[in-house]
Chain A
Amino acid sequence: MKMKKVLCILMAAAMVLGTAACGSSGGDSSTADSTPAEDTADSTEDDGAAQEEAESQEEDSSASDEAATATGTLKVAAVETAYGADMWTDVCAAFEASHEGVTIELTVDKKLEDVITPEMKSGVYPDVILRAVGAESGLTETFVKDNNLVDLTDVLSMTVPGESTTVGDKILPGFVENSICNPYGDGKTYLMPMFYGPCGLFYDQGLFKAKGWDVPETWDEMWELGDKAKAEGIALFTYPTAGYFDAFFYALLHESMGNDKFQEALRYGEGIWDTPEAQTVFDIIEKLASYTESTTPANANDNDFQKNQQLILDDKALFMPNGNWVIGEMAEAPRAEGFEWGFTALPAVSAGGERASYSFFEQVWMPAGAENQDLGKEFIAFLYSDAAAEIFAGSGAIQPIQGMTDKLDGDNKLYYSIYDNGAVAVMDAFAATEAVEGITTRATFFDPVNSLVTGDKTKEDWVNQIKADSDALRAALKE
């Protein structure tokens, strides 16, 4: 009997201890072990001792110029997109091979935030993160809004490891000098451009050939085509989700306003939405909404958006705004006979006017809490090397670096050569603000397109909302 009681107490004590251990934030080893990313990551098993040794070595090598000789463990976290996870493992292996003594702890996951956020909340940050702005989680935006990034301006003047050019010279012009990479407008670069893809309107070339239609070059021609198509029971337009209007909106705004006013609009300039140029944009989108396939809003959510994309494949709608990833996304989908992907920049606002295509690109950056900043910068510089670019390109991920478009072939050439054919590349996004509670650019600017199509909101409602929210966002702009 007594034995039983003692046993009970012992077991209870064990449970209490176990609870206490769970409650504490845990040491380095326990947090590292709990990362589910290990399934996908190719991280080399490093025991605590080796890590400590590496870290102490890291402290010894100090200046950033000597980073090439730095050793240590670098934590890299990248989101897995349509390009797959293998290219990251390969690039990290290549970096380790060229940098002796460096171990990379790689985390690649489709839901990257879910994997790295718990550690970040407890103050352990990856050194290098690849995650683009515009993701639903807003991870990158949150770091920008919180001024929580490492200044990467000096990476631009670093020499690409194993090559003679600097990173800055290698990146295509325009990709660094924009409001995404320089979020605070102070001339400093905090995010570095990685894989890019032109966004524009996708259509079925085969259908256009069969019907003898020309791809419209101005919006007036677009409406004419819309009426012609309507007579044949085909809608002019559809969109996957309202979120896809970001690229569309920026490009259209640029076409209509020209660069100076466009930049002003991105900073929510006072009265900018009352200008005739802005009104033109709203008018076009309103009209486009009336030409949109009527069931589009019902499927315009993350669950069903492919049904909207299917409308193009089935020749039930002519155009949709999208990026080149759509081809991979819909690779398995059934399609109309003679279907062939076509891609064009937005039609011009007036005959002979500018035609724009938004360049979506992902960004790589370092959180301010990164421990191995020098090594991290070295790694970022390495990402722009020919060796790395080749690995990325092998998975279809194209970086904005010199000479890359020459190496492309097949479908990819069609998309990336759009800028050679006279389309203007637009790369900016709305300026960074302090977090404004209750207001997101997506809910203010893009989501209401659904309401325009269903008729639940008028253009006036939409514009008034934009104006009111712009006032609040302007007041919160980062200096």
Chain B
Amino acid sequence: MKKKRRSGFIVACTAPAIILFIVFMIIPTIDVFRMSLYKWGGYTAEKTFVGFENFKKLFQNPKFYQSFQNSILLIVIVTLVTFCLSLVFASILSREKIRGQNFFRIVFYIPNILSVVVISAIFSAIYDPNQGLLNSFLSLFRGDKDPILWLGSQKLVIYSVAIAMVWQAVGYYMVMYMASMANVPDSLYESAALEGAGRINQFFSITLPLVWTNIRTTLTFFIISTINMSFLMVKAMTNGGPDGASNVFLSYMYQEAYTNSSYGYGMAIGVTVFIFSFALAGILNAVTRREEIEF
């Protein structure tokens, strides 16, 4: 009797969260899958069922592949660079005694609390071909040759976006890594030092294995946040331009669903992104699986 009441209580307590989750996560997700099978402009009552037609068109469209390439490029570059930088910074800031440690912590973290619009304004000032910081600095070495069009050249633009994204993300992951590095007992480092292990050796043999679970979690974060942030960055900085050269998954989806009146097609892109990011996260999770090391 008492057990029954207890489980009833648990149900009542978890119900709100479950209902919220179903209403705002499960149902919309199912809806996205359903809508991807329709031709629909977004406002009318009538929707035409077209089966997998949207997907067929999607996989024949060079612009989709371009945005796919850009997204993958960003995921790889931003993840790798941010991962390395934030790990290095985190280990320096948590292991070494540096003057102004807190100051650096804050400085690194600040970009993360800035709005994307502010970041894009900062970077558009840096990338400005004529008065920009970057070109002015580079002109010290290369003279006043034709200015480099950081946001204008189709070959460079996606890297320019990547740099802004790395700058924005480093602080956040650094703090995450620092949090787990703080849990590593000092005694391990002390004994390693006594055994004659150098700093680099300590990093790879002690720090890295002991924060591995944390790293695995952040890898999934990297995928999700890069897909999302790249949309915001691209939308604010270039809007997919020049000539679609910086389009990513979601900016292309937005363009189709809201500008081109192809809501169903847009949802087909959404489904593809969903499956892709799920699969990628799964693969990453599988290949990074190690035996957990306890301390």
Q: Select from chain B the residue with minimum beta-carbon distance to A295.
A: B129
> What are 16 pairs between A and B in contact, CB < 8 Å?
A23-B23, A121-B43, A137-B259, A143-B41, A143-B43, A145-B261, A295-B130, A297-B149, A297-B241, A299-B152, A301-B237, A435-B39, A438-B58, A440-B260, A451-B154, A456-B154
Residue from B9, B39, B146, B262 having most chain A Cβ neighbours under 10 A: B262
Across chains A and B, which 7 residue pairs bring their CB atoms closest together, nearest first?
A298-B152, A450-B242, A297-B152, A298-B149, A437-B265, A142-B261, A15-B16
Residue of B nearest to A303 (CB): B124
Q: Does the CB pair B13–A454 fall under 8 Å?
A: no
* Residues from chain B with Cβ under 8 Å of A19 in the complex: 16, 19-20, 23
Collect the chain A residues with CB atoms within 8 Å of residue B16's CB: 12, 15-16, 19
- Cβ-based interface call for A227 (8 A): no
Q: Which residue of B lies closest to A136 (CB)?
A: B259
Task: Indicate with 1 or 0, residue by residue over B1-41, a CB within 8 angstroms of chain A CB atoms.
Answer: 00000000100110110011001000000000000000101
Interface residues on A, range: 35 or more
Tell me if A123 counts as interface (CB < 8 A to partner B).
yes
11 more A-B residue pairs beyond the given contacts A20-B19, A454-B154, with a C-beta to C-beta distance below 8 A: A19-B16, A143-B41, A242-B241, A294-B149, A298-B150, A301-B151, A304-B124, A438-B64, A439-B260, A454-B152, A454-B153
In the bound complex, do residue A454 and residue B242 qualify as a contact, i.e. CB atoms below 8 Å apart?
yes
Distance, CA A240 to CA B15, complexed state (A): 54
Question: Which residues of B pack against A, CB within 8 Å?
Answer: 9, 12-13, 15-16, 19-20, 23, 39, 41-45, 54, 57-58, 61, 63-64, 120-121, 124, 127-130, 146-147, 149-154, 236-239, 241-245, 255-256, 258-262, 265
Interface: A475 (CB within 8 A): no
Once the chains bind, are B120 and A9 in contact (CB under 8 Å)? Answer: no
Alpha-carbon gap, A365 to B44, bound state (A): 16
Q: How far is the CA of A117 from the CA of B136 in the complex (A)?
A: 44
Q: How far is the CA of A294 from the CA of B42 in the complex (A)?
A: 39
**Minimum Cβ distance to chain B for residue A222 (Å):** 24
Interface residues of A in 127-155 (CB under 8 A from B): 136-138, 141-143, 145-146, 148
Closest B residue, CB atoms, query A15: B16
Q: Is the CB of A142 within 8 A of B42?
A: yes
Does A300 make an interface contact (CB < 8 A)? yes
| A261 adjacent to chain B (CB < 8 Å) | no
Q: How far is the CB of B65 from chain A (nearest CB, A)?
A: 11
Expressed in whole angstroms, the Cα–Cα distance for A456 and B147 within the complex equals 17
Q: Which residues of A contact B259 (CB under 8 A)?
A: 136-138, 440
A143 to chain B: which residues have CB within 8 Å? 41, 43
Among B54, B146, B153, B261, which residue has its beta carbon within 8 angstroms of that of A138?
A: B261
User: Is A443 interfacial (CB-CB < 8 Å)?
Assistant: yes
Contact A300 B13 (CB under 8 A): no
Closest to B132 in A: A298
CA distance A214 to B23 in the complex (A): 67
A294 touches B146 (CB 8 A): yes
- Assembly CA distance A458 to B213 (angstroms): 51
